Amino acid sequence: MSAVDDPAERLARIADLTTLALEGQATGDRAFDALGSVARECAIPHKYIYDLIEGFALDASGWHPRTEQDLLKYCYHVAGAVGCMMAIIMGVDPDDEATLERAADLGKAFQLANIARDISEDDAAGRCYIPDEWLAEADIPPGEQMRPFYRSRLADIGWWLADMAEDYEASGRIGARVLPFRARWAVLAAAGIYGDIAREVAARGQAAWDHRVIVSKGAKLKWIIKALLQATRT
């Protein structure tokens, strides 16, 4: 949440270093050089990498979703594209569009869980990822979502986000079936842990933003064990 003095300059530098790395040129930055190496080794289509940068651009511009489709577009760019790249690294064929769509869905589920959990923190930073049409439907004036008067209506929005996250999580779990065992196990564990974030937001209702929702170490361990069992039943 730290401020950047010149977001446009930072974004341009990220784009330039990415292009150099993907062209196989040395960038002088180990992170970007590693990105280029992984992209070449795993044949990651450059589209997904630039799609992620577009997500950075949305935030750098102070973007805000007006519709549900705008929200899902944002979730794809900042998380769904990462899901696609991770799937390819895990062995999914870059031409397997059906599985990559499932991977993108799981990324969207993770981001929706983050948005549901972080409504208060985002508001404090001057950001809001709740679509305008959702605020209007809940009869919450723009920028007023954290006022105590609207807390019960905000709880409804938290439930909407959690419900949507659950649908995308389910889609991602179907896609995980084609992954190698260890990758499948890891993805299913992550799906359960992030899913618990959204489920806890929904369960807390109006109290969802009194304290930041976290998943305990014990709950994470339970998901690792549960995911192991799920991964054996492809």
List the chain domain ranges: 64-232
Between the alpha carbon of residue 148 and those of residues 3, 33, 113, 134, the distances in Å are: 27, 48, 22, 18
CB 56 within 8 A of CB 14: yes
Place of tokens 């270093």: 17
pTM of the entire predicted model:
0.94
pLDDT in tens, the chain (234 residues): 677 788 999 999 999 999 999 999 999 999 999 999 999 999 999 999 999 999 999 999 989 999 999 999 999 999 999 999 999 999 999 999 999 999 999 999 999 999 999 999 999 999 999 999 999 999 999 999 999 999 999 999 999 999 999 999 999 999 999 999 999 999 999 999 999 999 999 999 999 999 999 999 999 999 999 999 999 986
64-232: CATH architecture: Orthogonal Bundle (1.10)
